[in-house]
Structure formats: C-alpha cells, structure tokens
C-alpha cells in the first residue's frame, strides 16, 4: 500500500494495486459521516473498435451505455438497486465518452455496499429476453433526449465538428444501433474492458484503506475475474470541421446557440496542466466577470447567461460557448470579435489572476467534498496522475501559459455554429 500525503491539507490518500492488477484508491475522511465510492472502467461511448486476443472487434454505438444499464440485473432476479436500498445506501451509474462509473453513498457502514457493488459488477448476467426488454427501455430514453434542446444543441455541434470520430455519436446510441446488441456481444465487450487492469475503485469518507482493500481481496477471491490487455483502436479524424452550421426547430420559447471550436488534443504528458490552463482561459474570456459576459448581458444579447465548456478525451478536444438569445447570430458575432480582441491585446493580468484564484479555490474546496474526492481520484488515475497533481499544477500556471494556448486555439477556420430555434407557426 502506497501512501500519498499532502502537507498543505494535512491529509492523504492510499493506493494499492492488487495481484490481478486492480487499483484501489482510498481517501480517508474521518471527520465525515458518509462514505462515497466509485467503481469505474476506462471504457466509454467513444470506443467502438478494439483488439482482444488478436481479433479486431467493432461494437454498435451505445454499447457501453447499454452494458451499464444491464449490469444492475442479477441471475436471481434481484435488482442491484434493491440490494443497495437494503443497506441504506443510495446508488447510481453513468456512462460518459471515456468511462463508465458505478457509485454509491452510504452513511450506515460501507462494507455491505462495497460487497454489493463489487459483486454485481463482477458477475454479469444477460439473456435474450432481458436484452430485448432493455432495448425498449433505452429506445424510449433516446427518444426522450431527442426532445431535449440542450442535448440536441451539443450533439448537433459534435456532428459539425467531427467527420468520423465516435464522439459525434450520442452516448446512448440510436434506436437502430442498439437493436444490433445481443447477449453474446455484451459478454464479449464486458470481458474486453471490465477486467481488473482496466478498472479502479475510489473510496472517500469515513473508512480506512485497510478495510476497503480487505473487502476487495475477499470479493475477488470469490470469482475468477481475469486480467488481460485490450488494445483500443484510435479513431481516425480528418482536419477541419465536417460542417459549418445547423439549425433545428424545436418547441422552445427562445433561440439557443452554440459556437464550437475543434482543437488539437493534448498529449497525455501535458494533458492535465493544459486542461487546467484552458479552464482558466475560458473563465478569463467568458466568465461572469468578463468583459464579454457583461457586454452580452447588458445589451440583452443573452437571456440567462453565457456558458463555456471543454470536452476532452485521449484523442479529441473541443470548446463550446452557448447561451439563449433572441438574436443568436449577433451574440455569436460579438463572441467571435471578443475572442479576436483578446488574442490581439493579450490577457489582462488582473483578470487572469482572478480566474486562476477562483479555479484554485474550486480545486481546494473539492477536497472537502466526499463525492468530488472520489470522482477526482478516478479522473486523475485514468489520466495517469495523482489527485494532488491538480492543485499543484494549477499553482504553476502563468498568464504566458494561457496566452500561448490562446494563440493556437479558438480558430475561426475550425469552428461551427449550431442553433435550436422555436418552431414557426407554418411548421406546426
């Protein structure tokens, strides 16, 4: 067991790699009453092609999300959510572009919930009948998201930015792609990516590292959970964007806009610091105290605010600015002009330091949140770093780092615009 102590915070986390390659990360927080755990596999919706045992495989879009749903069913018919409820724990799960996570929060002891989460994730059970039933359930979920303006706005943008990369596909897939999923395909996909070397358990809260590690060893002794190597085939992506603009008519009261920029992905070695730098840069440009935000808000060009976000993975990176506006074309024009202005004049030292302090404050504050700690343990582990690297790297970021990033980012030639607008009376 490796201990990683942070003198500044006066606390630390513990890392153990078991004999089968499974990683256990524990962040004891004895002053808390709850325990929060995340069991994660480094597999998300953006991985469709891979090689295992020398064979190249391809799965339909939405397979990782479909598998996440199916994992909660047991052979004895008892749903895993019911097992958690019996222990007083609340559980959930989600699939993102690059990982699948199963999680719980418990305040009445963590042994039983930990045994439960390791138990059902370690013992998949699929049949033709249950897969067919789930296809209907997820099909309804997909249709529901098609009626969600924000969801349509983001994924229409990803379709504009990317020619071939699987990040352009909805995480849940489509009704057509999930119809191709079979029990055999799910078992093969599970065996490829739900192996100990590709997984991590992160636990934070009122529990010891020794207890968590002991529970893991006991659970693995009950089943033959084998480790092996699976090679993910990277997506090939062309330069430039796949499209320039799209407009979707929906039942919304005001138009919504998204201005997106396709960027060159960061290398693994520099990814964490570069992502932190980009977060600070976006706050400088479009944060609530920025000149751009005040200009848009004071002139009535945004109704509820201006939002910026970064989507980043091993082989993709994009930046989006979005909002609600009665004149979305004008709002986008102002955003583009302000980006070019900042590129030309450079960043304000005062604004940069303000954004850096805010970012650092958010990072430090998360060490007091049991759910944030567990989530950050998982994210940093999958990026090949430690949880304290985030804080340490944030402190090293200088204005020149942000300006260097800006010089090659937010290029108009690699941008696109997606709109969601109210349905016209003639279209109803």
Q: Whole-number mean pLDDT of the chain?
A: 93
What top-level class would CATH report for the domain 245-427? alpha beta
Ranges of beta strands (E only) in 59-138 are 90-95, 100-106
- 164: which DSSP letter? S
What amino acid positions are annotated as catalytic residues? 68
pLDDT over 80 (residue 80):
yes
- 231: which DSSP letter? E
pLDDT digits (tens, 9 = 90+) for 35-45: 999 999 999 99
pTM score, whole prediction: 0.92
DSSP helix/strand/coil, 257: strand
Q: Is 88 left (phi over 0), alpha (psi -120 to 50) or beta?
A: left
Rounded to an integer, the average pLDDT of 234-263 is 95
- What is the radius of gyration, based on Cα positions, of the chain? 23
Query: What is residue 226's predicted lDDT score, i.e. its pLDDT?
Result: 74
The boundaries of every CATH 3.30.830.10 domain in the chain are 2-232, 245-427
Could you write out the DSSP letters of every residue in 275-291? HHHHHHHHHHHHSTTSH
| 105 touches 90 (CB < 8 A) | yes
pLDDT over 90 (residue 103):
yes
Rounded to an integer, the average pLDDT of 5-10 is 82
Q: How confident is the model at residue 428 (pLDDT cuts 50, 70, 90)?
A: low
Please state the CATH superfamily assignment of the domain spanning residues 2-232 in this structure.
Answer: Metalloenzyme, LuxS/M16 peptidase-like (3.30.830.10)
pLDDT over 90 (residue 3):
no
Closest by Cα among 101, 113, 188, 117 to 378: 101
Q: How confident is the model at residue 4 (pLDDT cuts 50, 70, 90)?
A: confident
Question: In angstroms, how far is CA 247 from the centroid of its own chain?
Answer: 26
CA dihedral 180, 185, 186, 192 (to 10 degrees): -140
Q: How confident is the model at residue 391 (pLDDT cuts 50, 70, 90)?
A: very high
Question: In angstroms, how far is CA 401 from the centroid of its own chain?
Answer: 25
Q: Which residues contact 189 (CB under 8 A, 6 or more apart)?
A: 59, 63, 64, 67
**331 φ, ψ to 5°?**
-60, -45
pLDDT over 70 (residue 426):
no
Query: What is residue 77's predicted lDDT score, i.e. its pLDDT?
Result: 75
Rounded to an integer, the average pLDDT of 268-294 is 94
Burial label for 226, CB within 10 Å (0-12, 13-18, 19+), is: exposed
Residue 244 CB coordination number (10 Å): 9
Q: Which residues contact 274 (CB under 8 A, 6 or more apart)?
A: 266, 405
The share of the chain scoring above pLDDT 90, in percent, equals: 83
């Amino acid at each position: 067991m490796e201990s990683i102590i942070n003198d500044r915070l006066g606390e630390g986390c513990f890392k153990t790699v078991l004999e089968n390659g499974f990683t256990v990360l524990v962040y004891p927080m004895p002053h808390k009453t709850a325990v929060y755990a995340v069991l994660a596999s480094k597999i998300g919706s953006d991985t469709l092609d891979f090689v295992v045992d020398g064979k190249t495989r391809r799965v339909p879009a939405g397979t990782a999300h479909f598998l996440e749903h199916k994992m909660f069913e047991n052979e004895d018919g008892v749903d895993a959510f019911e097992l958690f409820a019996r222990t007083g724990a609340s559980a959930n799960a989600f699939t993102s572009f690059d990982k699948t996570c199963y999680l719980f929060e418990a305040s009445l002891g963590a042994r039983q919930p930990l045994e439960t989460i390791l138990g059902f994730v370690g013992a998949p059970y699929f049949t033709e009948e249950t897969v067919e039933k789930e296809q209907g359930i997820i099909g309804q979920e997909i249709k529901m998201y098609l009626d969600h303006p924000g969801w349509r706005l983001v994924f229409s943008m990803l379709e504009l930015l990317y020619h071939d990369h699987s990040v352009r596909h909805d995480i849940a897939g489509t009704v057509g792609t999930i119809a191709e999923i079979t029990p055999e395909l799910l078992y093969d996909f599970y065996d490829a990516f739900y192996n100990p070397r590709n997984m991590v358990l992160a636990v934070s809260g009122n529990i010891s590292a020794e207890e968590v590690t002991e529970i893991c060893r006991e659970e693995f002794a009950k089943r033959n959970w084998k480790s092996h190597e699976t090679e993910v085939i990277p997506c090939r992506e062309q330069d430039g964007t796949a499209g320039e603009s799209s407009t979707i008519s929906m039942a919304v009261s005001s138009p919504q806009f998204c201005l997106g920029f396709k960027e060159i992905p960061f290398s693994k070695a520099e990814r964490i610091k570069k992502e932190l730098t980009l977060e600070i840069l976006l706050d400088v440009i479009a944060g609530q105290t920025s000149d751009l935000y005040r200009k848009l808000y004071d002139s009535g060009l945004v109704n509820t605010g201006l939002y910026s976000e970064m989507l980043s993975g091993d082989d993709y990176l994009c930046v989006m600015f979005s909002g609600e506006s009665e004149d979305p074309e004008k709002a986008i024009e102002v955003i583009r002009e302000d980006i070019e202005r900042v590129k030309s004049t450079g960043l304000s030292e005062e604004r940069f330091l303000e954004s850096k302090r805010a970012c650092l404050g958010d990072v430090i504050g998360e060490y007091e949140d049991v759910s944030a700690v567990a989530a950050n343990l998982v994210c940093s582990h999958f990026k090949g770093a430690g949880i304290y690297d985030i804080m340490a790297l944030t402190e090293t970021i200088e204005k020149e780092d942000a300006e260097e990033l800006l010089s090659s980012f937010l290029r108009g030639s690699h941008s696109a615009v997606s709109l969601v607008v109210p349905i016209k009376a003639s279209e109803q």
